[in-house]
Structure 1
Amino acid sequence: MIISDSVLDALLKARPQARPQMYFKSSMTALSHAMEDQVLAGDDHPLVIASFQRERFYRQEAHRYLRIAERTDQVYVLAAPETDFANQSEHYETIAFKPTDGLSKEWHLVVLGKQYASCLICKERELPDLRTDTPELHVDQARRFEGIWTFDRSVVCKSAELLLHRIAYYRPELAAKINPVLERIETEPQSGINQVDPAPFAERLVTYLQAGQYKLAKAYRAIAEKERKERLVNSITAAVRRSLDPNEILKIAAQELGQVLGAGRCLIYRCKAADTIATLEHEFLNAVCAAPIPSLAGRPWTLQGNPLFEQVVQEQEPVYIQDTQADDRLSVIKDGELTIQALAQDWRIHSWLMVPVLHQNQLLGMVELHFCDPTPHELDRHELEMIEAIATQIGVALIQAEAFENLEDLNQQLEALDRTRSNLIAITGHELRTPLSTIQVCLESLASEPDMSPDLRQVMLNSALTDGERMRKLIQDFLTLSRLESGRIEWKVEPLPLWECVDLALSSLQARRSANPIPQIITQLSTELPLVQVDGEWLVEVLSKLLDNACKFTDAKGRITIQAQRLGTDKLEVTVSDTGRGIEANRLETVFDRFYQEEGALRRTTGGTGLGLAICRQIITNWGGQIWAESGGKDCGSQFHFTVPIVPLEEKQSMSTRRKRNT
């Protein structure tokens, strides 16, 4: 059977003159300890009854009741069991009641001796669910109780009587021990002077008051730390919203973080896990330090061989060294270089914190805090949490900045595509419509004028054929560029002499321009040049287009020169220069764009589709080479350079061996 009656309600019914008051848990604890201290300080053998609601509350005070049991054999402890609490009679009597019993809502302590008596009879009030974001403000401290704390002997005796009857109900085997106590309570006087020493109560209350003040101050500090963290995070967030420039964001973050934490030096830099060196661009130096702190701004910061950086990369967690001169990890010498410990001493780093800036487990940068005071810095948990929060914000900012840069690149590509579309329309409209019109006129004339003279008929046919070839060349260039950009070319790479490809390109040029005078072409190729490792057909295509381009913009009295020289151990640089019209400095890169025309698509004195140089770049790039233009400006001629790979030394030796065998 479960007893749901309240001891407090029964006491108030029996002693209506008693007036209940409200108590917080901290006050209840202080009063209980004061009453227990009174027992421990005296030489009496009082009756002590304590009801703890739950076993976990009892466990916190079990050691005290072992000491109290040494003073008296009349000690009774009640609690609802949660683990191993049970009815026992070892050091003192323990009484286990059901968690649904009325005692589980109450907290009682009764001390009844010959010279003094006191009791604390309280019932917990139900409160709504308490939640708090500050971990120091424990919910347990907000619990409230309604009850009676008194030295009135009659009230104490009645409380003892009610609890002893409850104990006898739960443990009837204790009747022989309880009944004499009940008889003594009923027969002894219920009034008289209660000789209670107030000192333990005053001391205990002062102690708990001080402890409460300490907890309150600690809570205020936690709130201040939280406010500081939120302010710093907000400042970084505001910087992100104001600008998508990563340099400005990192600069603000370094200043704010260094000032708030009082570090001697704060560094924030971008780096990746595989980097060996980082450039320190953003630094905060504390100006209020006793001695000036040397600046690291603009210096290369070694990452390879730094055990802190390596640990951060491996664990992706912050690493903190409280005393750099006492940490063995920093004293390891690698390849005879200066130890990190010596480096820290040179730059006055006494305590060192490294926090990674991560995004999806990828290292984007690093936040470093150097504490330069002579005494090691005690890093607080709140400080570390704040720095990690800032590092997260910095990571978001860097990703946003990178996304914005990519967006700008995409916009530029879209603009380039739009220009390409416009040029394509212009080219199509001009380069296709004009020759088609000529062909149509010529064919109509031939069809409608049967009496046309043979000479005029031949002129008409030649015009139609010329414009037909012009259209064929335009379509061929379209298809060639499309195949190159889509990667559908099957390269037939083989060792070839450069002069052979140059001769083929010159022969093709002379055949195409036999009817028109061309500039003087000078070939300056050394016989010692190594073989090139290319597709010969496509190299002839590149040379032909570069020579065509040079002839197009060079007067017949000008000069075109073909040169080549070895570039390093694996490349050959070929140069096609002319004395023609030249290129302005701001167009040296643009000339390689698709459909680029110096005079515009519809207003130019030279023919062509504007695809030739774009095709050359695609071919050379597919071989791992580069192509670029140089010019002194207008009417100063131009030089087109490109690089091609040469035959590796091993393959040369293999070719030489094969020749000897064949011989």
Structure 2
Amino acid sequence: MAVNFKKSYKFAFKSSLYITIFFVFVLLLYHFLEQPFGYFAVVPLAILLFVFSFFVIQYRVERFIYKRVKKIYDDVSLLENTTFRNQPITTDMATLTQEVKKFARDKKLEIETLKIREEYRREFLGNVSHELKTPLFTVQGYLLTLLDGAMDDKNIRKKYLQRAEKGVERLIYIVKDLDMITKLETGDINIERSEFNVVELIQNVFDLLEMRAAKKDITLTFDVKYKHAIKVSGDQEKIQQVITNLVMNSIKYGKQGGTTEVSIEDLVNNKVIIRVTDNGEGIENSHIPRLFERFYRVDKSGARSEGGSGLGLAIVKHIIESHEEKIYVESQFGVGSEFSFTLEKAK
């Protein structure tokens, strides 16, 4: 019957067997020459030598390997990998090799993730700096001009103060959005669910943004005339912000004389999907995976001229996910874009 020893045990077993055979040969040779022992004394002596040799060799090999393996464990433990550190120290080379390879793969993945996060952090800080710098310099420029003597002219003073006020409003807008997205990401904002008519809510958003859309001659419309209320469950105020942000984006990137259309469709599992579709400039495929990142802009120059905090889509994503719903985007460059999200229907 084959016995599945560890590799180190096989080494000790074979070594002990060789030593035993050698000693038995020596004892037999000595017996034939000197005859101090009987034949029956050879077998116990052989067993005793075999057991003694086995444990001695096994102990020495274990200690030899253990010291070197323990050093490997101690070295990798300095990297603060608690999973590896809590593993029992093994002297089996195959097991050790597998553990070290797995450790190396995990560390490589961790390092790559940290590099991505570091790149994202640098980009995020650069974007925050850029977003805050523009209105700050604007306010500073107007105030310095007034302090240099323009304050004596009432017309210029009023005009510059009004422009400085707009810069301050932009700063407040950015800070409020930053505060909101931070709370959303940390879970500090609670979702207060209620039942409401989403058709009426969308119409309210249309009314709020009607003048902004009129500046670019963009029509805000439903896909069909909804004669009956469609009740959904969710945080009404936050869902209104989602639709407002999506419609504002469609206006911002829409073409002159274009259209922004909102549709509401039934889905399975007691869900509805709300689609915001425009026939604007569209988005290239390379930008779509990063659309919901904070401060990420497709058009680095034109987008800032349109205003906004650059946090709109990031806030939309977090609000929808906090409702445990999904948001989708489809776009064809030069044709238009469609943002859609799901909501639970009221029971």
- Whether TM exceeds 0.5 here: the answer is yes
Corresponding residue number in structure 1 for 2:116: 415
CA distance in 2, matches of 1:426, 1:452: 37
SS of equivalent residue, structure 1 residue 576: strand
- Secondary structure of 1:134's partner? helix
Equivalent runs, 1:441-520 vs 2, <5 Å: 441-446=141-146, 448-454=149-155, 456-510=156-210, 513=212, 516-517=215-216, 519-520=218-219
Query: Which of the numbers 278, 281, 286 marks the counterpart of 1:586?
Result: 286
User: Contact between 1:577 and 1:639, CA under 8 Å: does it hold in 2?
Assistant: yes
Kindly tell me: are residues 444 and 457 of structure 1, through their superposed partners in 2, closer, same or farther at Cα, counting changes over 3 Å? same
Contact 2:242 2:316 in 1 (8 A): yes
> Is 1:636 the counterpart of 2:335 in the alignment?
yes
| Residues 191, 235 of structure 2: 8 Å contact kept | yes
- The match for 2:59 is none
Aligned match of 1:573 in 243, 260, 273?
273
Greater radius of gyration (CA): 1
Pair 1:401–1:530, CA change in 2 (3 A): farther
Pair 1:523 & 2:222 matched: yes
Partner of 2:106: 403
**1:137 equivalent among 17, 21, 44:** 17
Cα distance, 1:603 vs. partner?
Answer: 8.4
Structure 2 unmatched ranges of 5 or more: 1-10, 37-85
The one-character-per-residue Cα deviations of 1:212-237 (angstroms, maximum 9, x if unpaired) are xxxxxxxxxxxxxxxxxxxxxxxxxx
Structure-2 separation of matches of 1:615 and 1:646: 22
Over 3 Å counting, the alpha-carbon distance change for 1:481 and 1:140 in structure 2 is: same
1:434 to 134, 147, 150: 134
Question: In 2 relative to 1, CA 416–600 (structure 1 residues): closer, same or farther, beyond 3 Å?
Answer: farther
Structure with more of its chain in strand, by fraction: 1
Letter in 2 for 1:399: K
Q: CA deviation at 1:574?
A: 1.1
Verify the 8 A CA contact 1:627 1:641 in the aligned structure 2: yes
Retained in 2: the 8 A contact 1:625–1:644? yes
Q: Secondary structure at the match of 2:165?
A: helix
Q: CA deviation at 1:442?
A: 2.8
In the aligned structure 2, how far is the partner of 1:514 from the partner of 1:582? 17
Query: TM-score under structure 1 normalisation?
Result: 0.38
CA displacement at 1:420 relative to structure 2: 3.8
Q: Is the contact between residue 524 and residue 561 of structure 1 (CA under 8 Å) also seen in structure 2?
A: yes
Look up the match of 1:536.
Answer: 236
In structure 2, how many angstroms separate the alpha carbons of the residues matched to 1:495 and 1:612? 24
Residues 589-642 of structure 1, C-alpha deviations (whole Å, 9 max, x = no match): 211112111133798543233211111111111111121211122x21111111
The aligned residue for residue 313 of structure 2 is: 613
SS at match of 1:463: helix
Q: Is the 8 A contact 1:426 1:601 kept in 2?
A: no
Letter in 2 for 1:449: A
The reply on whether 1:549 has 2:249 as its aligned counterpart is yes
Query: CA-atom RMSD, angstroms?
Result: 3.6
Match of 2:297 in 1: 597
Look up the SS of the partner of 2:298 in the other structure. Answer: coil
Deviations 1:165-221, CA, capped at 9 Å, x for gaps: xxxxxxxxxxxxxxxxxxxxxxxxxxxxxxxxxxxxxxxxxxxxxxxxxxxxxxxxx
Write out per-residue CA displacement over residues 387-437 of structure 1, whole angstroms, 9 at most, x where no aligned residue: x997x5896488357625732xx5245324423433432442x33233223
Q: Which residue of 2 aligns with 1:560?
A: 260
Q: For residues 283-305 of structure 1, what are the alpha-carbon distances to aligned partners after superposition, in whole Å with 9 as ceiling and x for unaligned?
A: xxxxxxxxxxxxxxxxxxxxxxx
**The structure with more helix, counted as a fraction of residues:** 2
Equivalent residue number for residue 42 of structure 2: none
Q: 1:551 deviation in Å?
A: 0.8
Q: Residue 229 of structure 1 aligns with which residue? A: none
Separation in 2, partners of 1:603, 1:613: 13
2: distance between equivalents of 1:478 and 1:472? 10
- SS of the residue 2:13 aligns to: coil
Output the CA distance in 1 between the equivalents of 2:272 and 2:101: 41
Residue 589 of structure 1 aligns to a residue whose secondary structure is: helix
Which whole-Å CA distance do the structure 1 matches of 2:260 and 2:289 have between them? 21
Shift of 1:544: 1.0
* 1:263-313 CA-partner distances (Å, limit 9, x unpaired): xxxxxxxxxxxxxxxxxxxxxxxxxxxxxxxxxxxxxxxxxxxxxxxxxxx
| CA shift in 2, pair 1:437/1:148, >3 Å | closer
SS at match of 1:594: coil
- Written as runs of structure 1 = structure 2, the 5 A alignment for 1:227-376 is none
| d(CA) in 2 for partners of 1:520, 1:466 | 27
